[in-house]
Amino acid sequence: MKNYDKYRIGYFVPPVNEYDWVKKDHIEKAPRWCSVDLRDGNQALIVPMNLEQKLEFFTYLCEIGFKEIEVGFPAASDTEFEFLRTLIEQDMIPDDVTVQVLTQSRRHIIEKTFESLVGAKHAVVHLYNSTSFAQRQQVFRKDKEEIIKIATDGAELMNEIAARYTDTDFEFEYSPESFTGTEPEFALEICNAVIDIWKPTPEHKVIINLPATVEMSMPHVFANQVEYMSKNLHSRDSVVLSLHPHNDRGTGVADAELGLLAGGDRIEGTLFGNGERTGNVDIVTLAMNMFTHGVDPELDFSDMPRAVEMFEKFTDMTVDPRRPYCGSLVFAAFSGSHQDAIAKGMKWRAETDPTRWTVPYLPIDPHDVGRQYDGDVIRINSQSGKGGVAYIINRDHGFDIPKAMRAEVGYMMKGISDHTHEELSSDEIFDIFSREYINFFSPLDITDATFSYFSSTKEEGEKTVAVRMRVVIDGEVYNIDAEGNGRLDAVANGLKKTPYNFDYRFITYTEHAISTDSSSKAAAYICIADKDGHEYWGVGTQYDITLAAVNALVSALNRMNKKEHMVK
């Protein structure tokens, strides 16, 4: 990067920086939202939307709660004019929704803009002209007074022409386009000149929109510019201060958030940030950021997958899998430590306060945006850990793997994923777990076991367990009677009566019901160790917990046999 020295700071700081916005730590209420998907977003597409797509997109924007929607530049093309006329003539604009149209400060364009709105109940007419130093110098080659005259001439024309259309409730908006490259004192001067012509009142306000047409500064500088304007605009109680951040520096959301703290009342933006060049402010991210702070964004993204689907359908663009709140992978945790913390956090929430969301690593509950824990949260690959694997097996299949067993199972899954270079699905994980641990009946199998109990003469209160069992080893059948001081001890003593040397000791045993209904299966987990201390886990299932324990022991012995070769 050898040419950095040809660049200079292109923004202008206000004459006074008060930094009152810094004293606020979060946004306390939703702004007025205005979607510009159908104008700014549409003009950024390689293939702009056709009429049918625009109409369907407009309906969807109304469904999710937008009350102000910029529908285009009706004087610029027949397509945009026809779109607006279709909305009005087919009565597609809800009574509580206001359409917004853009116009340059030229008489024939303003006149056609008002013609396009005939029959609309409510409308925002948005006047703009560029005010930046670079545009004044290079594009228009006009001085400040000439640029102000463009704006004030347009404002006067709008007063004059709107008076002819008394059936529509108009709200006027003015944008000093390229505000971020405009000297703040000049931006203030031109905005106040327009305000003085429109003469707003608290009952009939005007909108002053400050567009970061090109994002040129760090967000705190933009906030200072907004604060300066907010504190010095004429008739401030009769002005809605609107912000239209772009994303050239990748901080459009931050500009919007700090701008709202600095006095902004309204946001113009698009779903997922679509727009010219790097795009507009991402309204989805901005709204969901408020949601995570307990603020109602007054937009409904409870079905985020549908929002993504609709956006991709209309724009032929894709949403990045890591885009906040909406990407396909934003809730996915592959890291072992993250998975463990999420699993523990979910358990803690269920046990303590299900009404609050405080789960580590997940800023929101996936259910709140129409996502599911199944397949969305804990994802298993070679980076995953024991906690994540155990969580998935428990969540999806009801097996609560003992803590001492989790590391072994986790490393097994990591190794398989590492070897295949693929993510493992929940079904694949359980299939591997089942084949390796559950009811593993070869070459040893105990096909039948009947237990009975009798009092011992050795010690008062102590009971001995007797077992009659049918054992199959490598195809040979053995009918065995044995005794022990417990069920598994009796089985162990019975196995010693076979020709094979099953030399092991018990390490641990645990059990639980897989489901809570009356016909539920039981799961048993047994760990045994060979003479060298190597441990082997087995899992057994059966409707009878006693037989589930027998199956777990058999599974552990068969896994041990793969190394010790007790049965050749």
What residue numbers does the annotated binding site cover? 40, 244, 246, 280
- Binding-site residue ranges for Mg(2+): 40, 244, 246, 280
Distance, CA of 359 to chain centre:
14
In 137-264, which ranges are continuous DSSP H helix?
144-162, 184-198, 219-232, 252-261
- With CA atoms as reference, report the closest residue to 451 among 463, 469, 472, 439: 469
Q: What is the DSSP string of 60-102?
A: HHHHTT-SEEEEE-TTT-HHHHHHHHHHHHTT-S-TT-EEEEE
Find, among 229, 326, 320, 318, the residue nearest to 286 by Cα.
326
Report the amino acid identity of residue 191. Answer: C
Strand, helix or coil at 263? coil
Cβ-in-10-Å burial (0-12, 13-18, 19+) of 392 comes to: buried
DSSP letter (8 states) at residue 31 = P
Q: Is 311 helix (H, G, I), strand (E, B) or coil?
A: helix
Placement of tokens 């996915």 in the chain: 332
- Residue 5 per-residue DSSP state: G
The answer to whether 19 and 190 are in contact (CB under 8 A) is no
CA neighbor of 171 nearest in space, from 195, 205, 121, 209? 205
The answer to whether 88 and 112 have CB atoms below 8 angstroms apart is no
Strand order in the sheet with 535-542: 505-513, 522-529, 535-542
Nearest to 209 by CA among 292, 346, 100: 100
Chain centroid to CA 164: 48
Residues 275-312 as b or e (16 or more Cβ within 10 Å = b): beeebbbbbbbbbbbbbeeeeebebebeebeebbebbe
What is the CB neighbour count within 10 angstroms for residue 108?
9
DSSP secondary structure code for residue 294 in this structure = T
DSSP bridge pairs for 537: 527
SS3 call for 177: strand
The tokens describing 56, both together, are: 């369907």
What totals of helices (H) and strands (E) does the chain contain, helices first? 17, 14
Angle between helix 283-292 and 252-261 (nearest 10): 50
Under a CB-based contact definition with an 8 Å cutoff, are residues 233 and 195 in contact? yes
Is the separation of the CB atoms in 274 and 48 below 8 Å? no
Residue 503's contacts (CB-CB under 8 Å, 6 or more residues apart) are: 530, 531, 566
3-state secondary structure of 526: strand
